[in-house]
Structure 1
């Protein structure tokens, strides 16, 4: 796999958490982390998971996250519209708002997305490249 072809990559919460907890596929995610971009919605999901499962504070969560990802991008009106509209396509697959926000970030930026959710391969997301690590 030639990682040099990617200037940046969008990372889904599932992939970030697989990396953090060293779950299946984490080694592949680790290769993308230096170029990774996280949507602000996915940032919120990661903070929630750290709080819920580890009782880690927001400040500590942010420290972990910002050590791992290159940057976090805002969830803007354009992405919100895309994420909202795609619910009819993604609902049968059980994709969450966080999933749709991540996909919207990929659509808007034109960047590929890394996820640990295999189901994402079942749907066409306006030509966005989806890299599944499991």
Structure 2
């Protein structure tokens, strides 16, 4: 039995197991929602968005929990960057919903960092991927 070959295979498998899952996250046609842990609320709609791959990166459409938004984004070094900002509707949504919307849109200016298959916002909120069925 060739123990050198077995040892090399074991080390190779160990290195594969240590690779980042960030690059394995499929963004094409993916849907994302804000987890409620950051705001610790359960009775209000939270931001959510969909990414659709196109020639320029990703088409982004979604909701801030109250208003609809859309735009174009690209992924650069595991940061989702919104090109030219996000366009959105402008209805008034109530104090709490307006505050969450403001946090979300402000965080979008800095991009969302993809880490451990989640988008982390500068506000501290986390966007999780909706499982594909």
TM range (shorter): under 0.3
Q: Compute the TM-score of the two structures, normalised by the length of structure 2.
A: 0.24
Give the structure with the higher percent strand.
Answer: 2
Q: Which has the larger radius of gyration?
A: 2
Q: Compute the TM-score of the two structures, normalised by the length of structure 1.
A: 0.24
Point out which structure has higher relative CO (alpha carbons under 8 A, 6+ apart).
Answer: 1
Give the structure with the higher percent helix.
Answer: 1
